Amino acid sequence: MKIALFSSKPYDQEYFEKYNIDYQFDFTFFETPLNPHTANLTKGFDAICTFVNDQLDAKTMSVLAENNIKLIAVRCAGFNNVDLEAAKAHDIKVTRVPAYSPEAIAEHALALILTLNRKTHKAYNRVREGNFSLNKLIGFNLSNKTIGVVGTGKIGAAFCKVLSGFGCEILAYDVYPSEALKEQGVKYVSVEELFKVSDIISLHCPLLESTKHIINKESLALMKDGVMIINTSRGALIDTAAVIEGLSQNKIGYLGIDVYEQEENLFYKDLSESIIHDDFILRLNSFPNVLITSHQAFFTKEAMFEITTTTLENIKAFKNGEELVNEVN
């Protein structure tokens, strides 16, 4: 079975080649992302493997159908970049990796909180330059702070568990509240109440029409002055223009993001010698209280193992005509 893997990085090739020994699929690795302009590269393949920023819209689907692609194996949990209606119309199956390592992303969210709060990134650079001053490095105790968790699926639940040892009050909002989390002391409230009373707000919900720009001018107005906002889910949960305004007006005291609404033009690339033509990311980087990482929250050895092996199992099930337990409908 011939498979084209798009948005390939050296670590993708390393893991897939290592674990493909037991499956013997014929992989071709394309560093380029998949979009309507690169979709012709799929000619001669049976299936494709894609990642978070590949563009699987109706135009791409049409080319895939012409090239007789029957399976899209998405090697991540999110699928907001996939036009499922177009896939269904062309009888193309879509699978995903529903849960590779919730702990990896939860722990990265906590790392953003602690780094922003205690300014360890700034302290590191100061000490390397011989500056041992503590001026402007003051933080706050997480203990007794109110943490608002938007979305309590597997990642949000793991985040609540990680926070439980810090002595925080944990509030949560989810369309489907978790009884298990309630038993652990997590209190479910309306999203408006969560915005109003939380010192720190961490986003762990999927990107849907109902959640797009859930952080916007109106929701920011409800929040405490100096609120900390963390996003390790999807970039479009945040209205970037509104957040920049909130930072400028000191409404937002801290912003930590591992995802960005226009990240497909930036993330996973070395642009250190390039001129970046994204005014929003340049403006965000100008704030001293903003910390940006390039969609690396998932990036642990354990997560890469789960992503790779689950994707291979999804492809194997399709090849053998078995039930696709991770199919996206």
> How many CB atoms sit inside 10 A of residue 84's CB?
15
Q: Which of 58, 68, 81, 62 is nearest to 6 (CA)?
A: 81
Q: Would you call 204 a catalytic residue per the annotation?
A: no
- In the numeric block, which tokens belong to residue 183? 């038993």
Q: Which of 309, 264, 211, 321 is nearest to 57 (CA)?
A: 264
Q: How far is CA 326 from CA 85, 93, 239, 307, in A?
A: 17, 10, 31, 12
Residues whose CB is less than 8 angstroms from the CB of residue 180 and which lie 6 or more positions away in sequence, other chains included: 157
| 2-5 β-sheet, strand order | 26-29, 2-5, 47-50, 71-74, 93-95
Q: Would you call 263 a catalytic residue per the annotation?
A: yes
One-letter amino acid of 179:
E
Q: Of 213, 261, 263, 264, which one is the catalytic site residue?
A: 263
Q: Would you call 85 a catalytic residue per the annotation?
A: no
Q: Of 234, 264, 323, 327, which one is the catalytic site residue?
A: 234
Q: Could you tell me where the beta strands, DSSP code E, fall in the chain? A: 2-5, 26-29, 47-50, 71-74, 93-95, 146-150, 169-173, 187-188, 200-203, 227-231, 252-257, 290-292
Say what angle helices 102-118 and 120-128 make with each other, to 10 degrees. Answer: 60
Strand partners, 73: 49, 95
Active-site positions read 234, 263, 295
